[in-house]
Amino acid sequence: MAEYIDPQQLNQVIAEIQKISSQREGSITIDQAREILRDMNLPDELLEEAVLQVKRREAQKSQTLVNFLVITGALVVLGVGIGATFLFHQRQQAAIAKVTSQTSMVTIGSNKDRAVQVVPRPSEVVYRVTLANAPIGQKLPMSCEWFNPEGTVVQQNSYRTKEINKSLWNTQCKYQLNTSDLPGTWSVTMYVKGRPVSTTTFRVK
């Protein structure tokens, strides 16, 4: 059997539907919230505290999102910085790997223009090398090893060049040859960042 309602009840139903729809779609007041709690047989004395806790959680979520975005941004910047530094380092290494020796000679003391094959004792022996493909704008880490006739390293020189401003770059290392040093065939090797670029032999008498 069909159920009927009169026009007055219909108007009340429509009003109630509109009220419920408004409550679900929009904000409600504290008093309305209290009424809802009472309708659901729930205590309403903790309503304010519950609302405060909800707002705190929402604020915490917002702050967590902000922190996440800040950290993500910082990591992106850090990653870009590390990538740029790595790329710069790789380019430096590639430039150093191209360095070679164009000329080399052993001289005595300040006489830099006269190469010698035989060196008397005692003498200040200077190994002069002209580097080719020197990377402009860099300071190259250099080293030399001096070998006596027995193959023993009697001295190691380590230094860094001045800032290079031309691709052909003159550099040098020294050894003070004493009367106690062994006579015979000696050798000296120059290195660019641990990589040998030039070796020359000479005789000590």
Q: Is there a single domain that holds both residue 58 and residue 125?
A: no
Q: Is there a single domain that holds both residue 198 and residue 111?
A: yes
Q: Is there a single domain that holds both residue 134 and residue 162?
A: yes
CA distance readout (Å), 5 to 44, 69, 100, 164, 169:
34, 57, 104, 100, 106
Q: Return the sign of the alpha-carbon dihedral for residues 80, 84, 89, 90.
A: positive
Predicted confidence at residue 173, as pLDDT, reads 97
In a domain, 167, yes or no: yes
Predicted confidence at residue 182, as pLDDT, reads 97
CA angle 160, 145, 100 (to 5 degrees): 60
Choose among 124, 178, 185: nearest CA to 150: 185
Predicted confidence at residue 136, as pLDDT, reads 94
pLDDT string in tens for the chain (205-residue length):
555 556 676 566 556 655 665 655 556 676 766 676 676 666 666 667 766 776 788 888 878 888 888 888 778 777 666 665 565 567 777 878 899 999 999 999 878 889 999 999 999 999 999 999 999 999 999 999 999 999 999 999 999 999 999 999 999 999 999 999 999 999 999 999 999 999 999 999 9
In a domain, 37, yes or no: yes
> Which of 94, 124, 146 is where one domain is finished?
94
Q: Which domain holds residue 162?
A: 100-204
Return d(Cα 124, Cα 110) in angstroms, integer: 9
- Look at residue 33 and give its three-state secondary structure: helix
Q: Is there a single domain that holds both residue 63 and residue 31?
A: yes
Q: Is there a single domain that holds both residue 82 and residue 120?
A: no
Q: What is the CATH number of the domain that holds 120?
A: 2.60.40.1930
Strand order from edge to edge, sheet including 123-132 = 100-108, 123-132, 169-177
- Look at residue 62 and give its three-state secondary structure: helix
